[in-house]
Structure 1
Amino acid sequence: MTVRLDDLDRKILRAIQRDASQSLDDIAREVGSSKTPVWSRIRKLRGAGIVGRQTVILDAEALGFEACFFVLIRTSEHDADWQSRFLETLQARPEVQEAHRLAGDIDYILKVRVANARAYDAFYQSLIRQVRIHNVTALLSMEELKSTTDLPL
């Protein structure tokens, strides 16, 4: 289901995706409206599923998670039982920040945040004990050049 957005909706979405902690007064002032219509629009956008949960972005490196690995996974297993076990394994691992099923030569890609290479190895050893994987390639990110959760509205 597609929800029609007007210019005010887009302005509100840009404002809250940049900083969801700002007050309704601040958002209203920024988008050139008053508080009540802004609140109504945000409620409508939440109800439509466009606006989800609010969270805080933490600094991984400041918290000691200095290594970011992109893990490429190939598997020869594609049955429903294996996929279910794989998904449960990923859901249970807090190191996995993102997981995507891909089209092409690689079946899955994971974004894994850990303290260091030793912690990655522990993650890897645990993963292959829990699910059968044909091939794993880990790529260490040397530098994050861009990271955003903002959508181009």
Structure 2
Amino acid sequence: MTNKMAKLDENDRSILNALQRDASISLDALASELSLSTNACWRRVKKLEASGVIERRVALVSPEAVGLNITVFVSVKTDDHSAQWLEKFAKATASIAEVTEFYRMAGDIDYLLKLLVSDVADYDRVYKKLIAAASLADVSASFAMERIKYETAVPIP
């Protein structure tokens, strides 16, 4: 989807909220919940997918349940702000599974990465991959002590 905001009616918002709660809900159950015909509900879901409002449907996995006990936020500063540098660094980070989020920032840092790792030694292994990927002026890590709020649902206006 482009930066242009999709025009959503109340049924679209209800569909999005329901699917964000449970993407495995059957089409029949979703249609019933919204008092729509199954066919009308299906068409709306397909339209939301085609327009990019619904990017994909996934299962949310508990990091701790699979041994990824530490969340690390890595701040990166660079002296090279060229498109080529970013392309190289973005390609490298895309190949590192532990990097689950990657943002270009405004302010004191240039990039912010979120990593999920098993322990400090695992972070060090990923850190070595990051610093080998591209020239970095500064790398700083902050280890999350406790996850207070974690929400994947997007608030639907």
For the superposition of Structure 1 and Structure 2, which TM-score range results when normalised by the shorter chain?
over 0.9
- Helix, strand or coil: the match of 1:110? strand
Mapped to 2, the partners of 1:33 and 1:12 lie a distance apart of 11
The equivalences for 1:21-100 within 5 A come to: 21-100=24-103
Mapped to 1, the partners of 2:6 and 2:92 lie a distance apart of 35
Mapped to 2, the partners of 1:144 and 1:32 lie a distance apart of 37
Structural RMSD (CA): 1.1
TM-score by length of 2: 0.93
2:130 aligned partner: 127
Q: Give unmatched runs, 5+ long, in structure 1.
A: none
Tell me the alpha carbon deviations over residues 93-130 of structure 1, each in whole angstroms, 9 at most, x when there is no partner. 00000000001110000000010001001111121122
Q: Give unmatched runs, 5+ long, in structure 2.
A: none
2:109 aligned partner: 106
Q: Which runs of 4+ in 1 moved over 4 A?
A: none
Work out the percentage of aligned pairs sharing the same amino acid.
39
Mapped to 2, the partners of 1:57 and 1:2 lie a distance apart of 26
Mapped to 2, the partners of 1:135 and 1:93 lie a distance apart of 19
Mapped to 1, the partners of 2:67 and 2:154 lie a distance apart of 28
User: Is residue 2:5 matched to residue 1:2?
Assistant: yes
